[in-house]
Chains A and B, each alone.
Chain A
Amino acid sequence: MNAVSRDTMLLETPFHSRVAAMCQVNDWGNWMGYTTPNAYFDVELEYFAVRSTTGVFDLSPMNKYRIQGPDAEAYLNRLATRNVSKIGIDRVGYTVWCNDGGKVMDDGTIFRFGAADFRLCSYQRAMDWLLWCALGFDVTITDETEAVAALAVQGPTSCTCLTGIGLTDLNTLKPFGMRHYQFEGAPLMVSRTGFTGDLGYEVWVPPEKAEILWDRLFEAGKDYLIKPFGSYALDIARIETGFIQAGVDFVPAEEMVRPGRARSPFELGLEWLVDLKKPLFNGRTALLKEKREGSKFRFAMLNVEGNKPAEHSFILKGEQQIGTVTSAAWCPTAKSNIAFAQLEMPEGRVGQDYVAEIYYQRELHWTRVLAPCTVMDGPIFNPKRRRQTPAIAH
């Protein structure tokens, strides 16, 4: 478990030998202490693999916590804002969790293996908080980040590629469903989940099966134009489909230093994840108060005119600055310039028009563009194939 090395500052994932071999541009980043590729060969082409064929992303560094014991469901219901009792066995639920002040600490997914057996995947390291939450509950919490290797296999031909390595009848798996297979003599779990907004799966295996999984998958996907993709391509895909990211679109509440910089689920457009009817969950009292008294900010997805990504832009209403952009990208499939913004209430209603103040540089020359933008009603990329069951076969 404790694969801490004195020689290298960053850890390698179980797929590293294969990832490194395919990482032609040798562009690496640090994801939670692991060395992971920002790009493999060309960001745009990697992105188009996700949207047109199949892209493969090594998500092993994702923090994974196993939560087991008689009180596991009650424990998660106290931790998370959504009603975990409604997540069936072999189902997955997206959720956020809050501090006492009702501000979002992190978002992640809950995988339900059994009545009293769950896995929580989080962006942040969460063990400390999870253990504090465990006081008073009969649960055991195990960090299995290193014990489980995982790949995201995303794109229109992903089901076909995975069926090719022996995951029979995978096309009948519904979105947010999980299924268990045997692979090379080891258990393999596949969930129809992902961070791209497309048809896609995440495949979870013991680390010793990681390399053979990669090899078999790329072999099976060869005819379906399977490609690896890095974090830059993922960023475009997730913005296009409207997924926020911890540490980018909000400050994890317990890391916040300056008062007022954290955001509630309401302020991140995640009201649908908050079940105020639950008797108790962390942040409930504060969220009820916010519900009564109103939020300070609103999350808005903006469609920005032009093709200059509105990165770090101010959003203006006339002369007045009413918010800032947290994520922005030119989205190739939607052929739109999308930005996520935090706007001061009561701004940000669907259809409202603002101006994004965009700065960009060409050959040391800074240019300012005042690009009109409109608040969208939901994400711009939301294809039918994402939900379609049985999944399309090729």
Chain B
Amino acid sequence: MTDYDAIIVGGGHNGLICASYLAKSGRKVLVLEARDAVGGAAATETFAEGFKVSRCAQWLHQLSPAVRQDLKLADHGLVFAAENLATIALSAEGSHLRLAGDTISGADVSPEDEQAYREFRRKMRKYAGLMRKLYETRPPKLVEHDLRDKMTLAKLGLGMKLMGKDDMSDLMRLILINIFDVMNETFSSPTLKAAIALDAVQGTPMGPRSPNTVFTYLHRFFGEVLGYEGVSQVKGGMGSVGEALASAASSHGVVIRTNAPVASIDKTHDRITGVTLESGESLTAKAVISSADPKTTFKSLVGYQNMEVGLVRRIEHIRFKSGTAKVHLALKDLPTFKGLAPEDLSQRLIIAPSMEALETAYNPLKYDECSEHPVMDISIPTINDPGLATSGGHILSAIVQYAPYSPKGGWDALRSTFLDTVINEIGRYAPNIEQLVTAAELLTPADLEAQFGMTGGNWHHGELTMDQVLMTRPVTGISQYATHIEGLFLCGAGSHPGGNVMGLPGKNAADEIIRQGVLA
């Protein structure tokens, strides 16, 4: 008799979602979270006295509608402060480009670009629709001849056939190449090209010329086929996603313990028995399901010495690089962006003047150096959600690229310099920003790793590259959520289909565990 049917390591969104589905199916589930709040990368935290911010992920644009519906997240407090925001690509001269749905306006766009944009989105929707057939189920293995996997592949094959010859052959051509080439063959506006290319490289250690960036763009674009149009802002910050998920989980009987860091996942000769907390407390379960990234799970919690070596080698080979940092600024007042209407400050603002600028910003990352002119994705959440600044003022939150995990010279020496670089860069568009800043925080990839437990600071829990997706995510042999160790499962972003606050790894893992009947 075990304490629980399942223990979920990590109370991030995927852990909570997996827990909820398992509890819904009648299982006794415990979630253990190391931090003092659940949600993982969906976190709202105070970074300066009186200023709360979505400290890791800042937008919601992919959370699975099935999850939202099945777990009744609206009833559990998931409310949007603003939905379907436009993306505004800032120009230092004040001639900005606005992207909203299928339309673009402003800046230097031509009617040809407007037409090409609609066509590009049509095609991307088709491709993302095809991905959906793969994303919403376990990834198929190729050699085991499993009927279920064959069905997935058949659906994929049929989906490709139904796309029509031209779109299908174009997909085959595009999927492995880079966003730089695709943009140049599709559009003429440098601002438009860069705005799309930024989406392709966010959260990756890649530049627009890197192969694989069409695939990362499609992963990002995936939200558009789930019913999202652009990004949305959650009321109360992303932490509210975690709270709503926790509330839903609790309503199904899931026990959630925060401040309960797991020291080890325990096993006998042949199977997982439970976990031991850092406090020394041991808990038993029929299965342990880890939403921590695969390296943390196997290296730190199971222990390489307790595993077979081939698997150790594969886990060690997973690439976890990131070039993404977060910057949070507490502001006395709203900044003024040249040529930008005040009501547009509430939208998603991006700084990515051209693809050349993106690539130039990326170059130093290859040598573990910081960008001189970083590119960024900016949110001023306090306009739509004033409650985040409890005693007035505003917040500027930015996803900033590129900053290495361990720069030459170390972050201690570079932290304030890079923060100044970021503020100066924003200053090129909003000249008064420097005078408005009352407090500032930089979270480097190393900080994101330390605070949110993501190896390398990579928010996908492992780079999203063609060799690390589908049946090779996180590694060959453990791609269907079950691992080589009986009773140990993975449900985090390191598993198929990957990162972003999407929830499908957690849901797919639960589906698979229920289907296998391992908790019965």
Contacts and interface: CB of A to CB of B under 8 A. Distances in A.
Interface string B261-295: 00000001110000000000000000000000000
B269 A279 contact: yes
B305 A282 contact: no
B308 A136 contact: no
Given A279-B269, A285-B484, A100 B316 contact: no
Contact of A100 (B269, B270, B311): B311
A132 B305 CA distance: 10
A189 interface: no
Contacts of B269: 279-280
Chain B contact patch, size range? 10 to 19
Given A135-B316, A280-B269, A74 B305 contact: yes
Given A135-B316, A136-B303, A136-B304, A282 B268 contact: no
A74 B270 CA distance: 17
How many of chain A's residues touch chain B, expressed as a range?
20 to 34
B517 interface: no
B313 interface: yes
A285 B305 contact: no
Interface in B467-514: 484
B309 interface: yes
Interface string A250-290: 00000000000000000000000000000110111100100
A283 B311 CA distance: 11
Contacts of B299: 135-136
Contacts of B303: 136
A135 B303 CA distance: 9
B308 A279 contact: no
B484 A137 contact: no
A181 interface: no
A79 B307 CA distance: 11
B163 interface: no
Contacts of B313: 132
B306 interface: yes
A78 interface: yes
Given A100-B311, A135-B312, A78 B305 contact: yes
Contacts of B310: 99-101, 282
A99 B314 CA distance: 13
B297 to A, nearest CB: 14
A100 B475 CA distance: 14
Contact of B309 (A133, A279, A288): A133
Nearest to B298: A136
B309 A280 contact: no
B106 to A, nearest CB: 54
Contacts of B305: 71, 74-75, 78, 135-137
Contacts of B316: 132, 135
Nearest to B303: A136
A288 to B, nearest CB: 8
A129 interface: yes
Between B299, B308, B312, B484, the greatest number of chain A beta carbons within 10 A of the residue's beta carbon is seen for B308
A283 B308 CA distance: 7
Contacts of B484: 100, 285
Contacts of A280: 269, 306, 308
Interface in B236-278: 268-270
A100 B309 contact: yes
Contacts of A78: 305, 309
Contacts of A285: 270, 308, 484
A132 B309 contact: yes
A79 B305 CA distance: 10
A280 B308 CA distance: 8
Q: Which of A71, A99, A135, A279 has the most CB of B within 10 A?
A: A135
A348 B303 CA distance: 41
Contact of B268 (A74, A133, A279): A279
Interface in A49-108: 71, 74-75, 78-79, 99-101
B268 A129 contact: no
B273 to A, nearest CB: 13
Interface string A209-239: 0000000000000000000000000000000
Contact of B304 (A100, A129, A135, A279): A135
Nearest to B311: A100
A79 B310 CA distance: 11
Interface in B290-342: 299, 303-306, 308-313, 316
B87 to A, nearest CB: 44
B305, B316, B484, most chain A CB atoms within 10 A: B305
Contacts of B308: 100, 280, 282-285
Nearest to B485: A285
Nearest to B486: A285
A285 B483 CA distance: 13
A136 B311 CA distance: 13
A313 B136 CA distance: 54
Q: Of residues A74, A137, A282, which shows the largest number of chain B Cβ atoms within 10 Å of its Cβ?
A: A282
A55 B95 CA distance: 90
Most buried by A among B268, B303, B306, B309: B309
A280 B269 CA distance: 6
Contacts of A75: 305
Interface string A128-159: 01001101110000000000000000000000
A198 B516 CA distance: 55
Nearest to B308: A100
A133 B310 CA distance: 9
A101 B309 CA distance: 11
A280 B270 CA distance: 8
B370 to A, nearest CB: 31
A285 B308 CA distance: 9
A99 B310 CA distance: 7
Question: Which of the listed residues B303, B306, B310, B313 has the most CB atoms from chain A within 10 Å of its own CB?
Answer: B310
Q: Which 10 A-B pairs have the closest CB atoms?
A: A136-B304, A136-B305, A100-B310, A135-B304, A100-B308, A279-B269, A282-B308, A133-B309, A132-B313, A282-B309
Given A75-B305, A78-B305, A100-B308, 8 more contacts: A71-B305, A78-B309, A79-B309, A129-B309, A135-B304, A136-B304, A280-B269, A283-B308
Interface of A: 71, 74-75, 78-79, 99-101, 129, 132-133, 135-137, 279-280, 282-285, 288
24 contacts: A71-B305, A75-B305, A78-B305, A79-B309, A100-B310, A100-B311, A100-B484, A129-B309, A132-B312, A132-B313, A135-B305, A135-B316, A136-B299, A136-B303, A136-B312, A279-B268, A280-B269, A280-B308, A283-B308, A284-B308, A285-B270, A285-B308, A285-B484, A288-B270
